[in-house]
Each structure stands twice: as C-alpha cells, then as structure tokens.
Structure 1
Amino acid sequence: MLLKDFKYKGIVIALSIIVSWGGSLIFLLHYKITFTDPLIYIFVLWQMHLYTGIFITAHDSIHGVVAPHNPKLNYWIGFFSATLFAFNNYKKLSVKHHLHHKHVVSKEDPDYYEGNFLKWWLKFAIEYVTIWQILLMAVTYNILKLYFPMENLILFWEIPAILSTLQLFYFGTYLPHRGEHAQEDVHKARSQKLNHFVAFFSCYFFGYHHEHHAFPYLPWWQLAEAREREEHRIQ
C-alpha cells in the first residue's frame, strides 16, 4: 500500500508532530544553556517550527481532515493540539475559523483587519487570546519552574510559542489576505511562489493559501500538490 493511500496517514502525521514537539521539549528543558552555544538558537527555531505544526494540526482537525473516518478522534486530536498551543480554546477557534472561510476579507471575518501589520496582529491577538489562557499559562509556568530551570522554560516553551504565533499570522493570514484582490477571486487569498522547501518551513504549506481556501478539505500535507496543479493550470 502506498503511503499516500494509507487510510490513517493524517492521524500518523498529527501524532508524529505532537510526539516530536513533546519529546523535543522534554529534552530541551534539561539542556544546559550557554548563550555562546549556537545550537541554542537553532533549537528555539526548531521548537517554533514544531509549535506551528501543533497549531496546524488543530486547524486541520477543525476542517475534519486529521481523522476524517473517525470524527470523535478527529475532535480530540484537535482539542489536545489546541490545548498544547498555549491553552487555546478549540471550540472558539473552530467557530471563528469557519467564519473566516465564510466571510473572508470582510467586516464579518474575525481574522481580517484593514490596517498595517502591527495593528492587524494586535487585533488578531485580541480576537483569540483570552484571560483564561493567560492565567493557565501563568499557573503552568509556575508549576513547571519548580522542576525545570526558568531559562529553559522561557527559551524553549514560551518564546517559541510567541514566535510561532507571529509566524502563523504573517504567513497564514497577513500575506495571503492583505491588500487588494481580484474581483473574480471569491477566496480573497493569494499564494506564495511555488517552492515547497520554503513553503514547508515557513508555515507547513499554508503560504499556498489560495489552495487552502479553494480546497479546505485538503490537509496541510496535500496543499503542495494542489499548488502544483494550480501552477500547471495557469501555464
């Protein structure tokens, strides 16, 4: 059986990201920090990349494509992933994300704002971050620091989450939806240039954003193929 035809591929990929994030975090929370060590900065970026994968997994669960044959498992993987990403409320994310797809680039779109990058990002953060998230993160941090060094928690648990939020917003919301869009483009979303290496490491192929809006039933790992088909169609 080809891997692409494997029925449970979405589940395997989702769990691989979650396990990789968790295993990497456990290792890094024990890692001896020396700021002259160049690996420290590579590890921060690596953990940011895995954090982004955690959120993308929650996002794909919202679209029902992590475990399409098992809606209950799909929900719980999404719920768990959203919780790992700074205690995000999965139900709230789901409602707002479906509104984004339904009312893209309009006043009813919770992800859209007619303003510069900073104002848009602040509006985006206010739209999604809740006081409960902040409290839960604070409580978790104070519990974890009883067992792990504060520097490790900040470097490998907190900073990557913040950087990942910026990464997700910049590549998955701001670049695709900013500015004017062709009137005939009902999706009001543009895609970055065809480069799978850049697209994967920038935001798990979500820079191919027009394809995501055109085919929301595709998981992140099928967006590259969809982008190739669109490129060939245009040519």
Structure 2
Amino acid sequence: MQKSPSNKGLLVALLVIGCWATSIILLMQWHFSFANPLVYLLVLVQMHLYTGLFITAHDAMHGTVSPNRSLNNFVGYLCTFLYASFWYPQLYTKHHLHHSHVHTDDDPDYHNGGFWNWYVRFIRNYLSIWQIVVMAALFNILKIWIPQPNLLMFWVAPSLLSTLQLFYFGTYQPHKGEHDNKYFARSQPRNHVVAFFSCYFFGYHYEHHDSPGTPWWQLWRG
C-alpha cells in the first residue's frame, strides 16, 4: 500500500461520503410516487454515489486517501461497510492479488468468458454469507422506521446497479479480450465528462494499473 503525500484525498473522500449520506437521508424521508419520473433519475444519482463509495474504498486500498495509515484504512472500512457491508481486509487482499496477477488464473477479478458469466463469478467471488445476513438484518431493522419502498428504491436498487457499473467500466471493458501491454488493460476513449459519470475516471484503467498510487480524481491527467 502506498501513502498519499497530502490530505487532499481525505477531503475528496469526505465530500463523496457526505454527498452519499445527505442524499440517502433525504431520500429515506421522501413520500414519492412511482409515477414520478424524478424517482428513476434519483435512483441513478444514488447509484453513482454508491459507486463513489466503492471507488473511495479502492483509493484507500492503495493508500491514497490519507498519509495517516489508520485514518486511510478507517475510510476504507467505512466505505465498504456503507456500500454493502463488505469486509475491507478481504477486498484489500483480493484487489492486490488482481494487481499482482492480472489476467491470470490467480487474478480474482478475471474470467475468460462472456459478460454475464463473468459478472456472476465476479460477484460470487466477493460476496459472503455473513454479508448477506448483515444486509438482511439491516433491511429488517431499518424498515421499522423507513418505508419499505424507499429502502428498495434508494438503498437496495442503487447498490445493486452500482455493482454492474463498477464491473462493466472497471473490470469487463478494461480487461476483456487480448491486450498488447503488461497490465492486460485498456482505457476508454478520453472524454473526461463521460469518464467521470461512467465510473469516476476508472475507465482510464491502463493509467490506474500503470500508477496505482494515483487517486481516482487525478487519473484524468494520465
């Protein structure tokens, strides 16, 4: 794990977490109608914020959130738990295996197959029974105070959709097929607006593998 030379990464992380927290608190209180098209737009906004949580945790795995290792790891633990009750040390270990053994049988993110087979394998590789138990328990506790439609639309659905966003732009597109570089990765065409809204510049994936100590918010400079 590398160290961030400044606390700019921490400020960016707090901004992402703050936006997610503000959004989800407000959405849990919203008395909405399924006929309102704004509902579905806000599901996508919330999906993007969930993706931001995971990308922030990913930066923590590379030590780019804070030069203080304990604080850096705390942000990683917090973001992975808020995202979907993931266990940060497990994700940390598997992600660094991905970097060390990219595009091989020892790469936990790689699968030589089609999109859906690869996605299912990807999810199964990271999902645990305890995570499902924790999420189910949280859902049943939260619905005591929060309407179930709000939980389903703005807590459950966005996090599930976010896994597709992360997988497609951060794993499948960059690593599928054959490659002519040592990272077995490709980057999406350079359009910074598209790159941010698709997956926080994570589509610039060759740049990430070439410089894993570069935080997501600086990948566009690569």
Q: State yes or no: 1:92 paired with 2:68.
A: no
**Which of 189, 192, 197 lines up with 2:193 in the alignment?**
197
SS at match of 2:17: helix
Provide the C-alpha distance between the structure 1 equivalents of 2:127 and 2:116, rounded to a whole number of angstroms: 16
Please name the residue that 2:62 is paired with. Answer: 63
- Please say if 1:207 is aligned against 2:203: yes
The structure, 1 or 2, with the larger RCO (C-alpha pairs under 8 Å, 6+ apart) is 2
Task: Specify every segment of 5 or more residues in structure 2 that has no aligned partner in the other structure, as ranges.
Answer: none
> How high is the TM-score relative to the length of structure 2?
0.97
Write the distance in 2 (CA, Å) between the matches of 1:94 and 1:197.
Answer: 29
Structure 2 CA distance for aligned equivalents of residues 7 and 96 of structure 1? 26
Deviations 1:154-188 (A, max 9, x none): 00000000000010000000000000111xx1111
% identity of equivalent residues: 53
Q: Partners in 2 of 1:32 and 1:196 — Cα distance? A: 35
RMSD between superposed Cα atoms in Å? 0.9
The match for 2:133 is 135
Instruction: Give the C-alpha shift of residue 131 in structure 1.
Output: 0.3
Runs of 4+ in structure 1 off by over 3 angstroms are none
Amino acid at match of 2:63: G
Superposition pairs for residues 83-122 of structure 1, below 5 Å? 83-122=81-120
Structure 1 distance, partners of 2:100, 2:23, is 37
Residues in 2 aligned to 1:218 and 1:100: alpha-carbon distance in whole angstroms: 17
1:26, 1:118 → 2: CA distance?
33
1:181 to 171, 179, 197: 179
- Structure 1 CA distance, aligned partners of 2:35 and 2:127? 34
Measured in 2, the distance between the counterparts of 1:194 and 1:59 equals: 22
Equivalent positions of 1:158-169 (< 5 A) are: 158-169=156-167
Aligned equivalents of 2:102, 2:96: Cα separation in 1? 10
CA distance in 1, matches of 2:90, 2:83: 14
Taking the TM superposition and a 5 Å limit, the aligned residue runs for 1:72-83 are: 72-83=70-81
**1:35 shift after superposition:** 1.5
Superimposed CA distance per residue, residues 43-67 of structure 1 (whole angstroms, 9 cap, x where no aligned partner)? 1000000000000010000000000
1:223 aligns to what?
219
Q: How many residues align?
A: 218
Q: 1:127 is matched by which residue type in structure 2?
A: N
Task: Provide the TM-score with structure 1 as the length reference.
Answer: 0.92
Supply the distance in 2 between the matched residues of 1:107 and 1:138 (Cα, whole angstroms): 32
* Unaligned stretches of 5+ residues in structure 1: 1-5, 227-235
Partner of 1:7: 6
| Partner SS state of residue 79, structure 2 | helix
Q: What is aligned with 2:155? A: 157
The CA deviation at 1:8 is 1.8
Deviations 1:34-88 (A, max 9, x none): 1121110111000000000000010000000000x21110000111101111101
Q: Which residue of 2 aligns with 1:24?
A: 23
Q: Which letter does structure 1 place at the counterpart of 2:155?
A: W
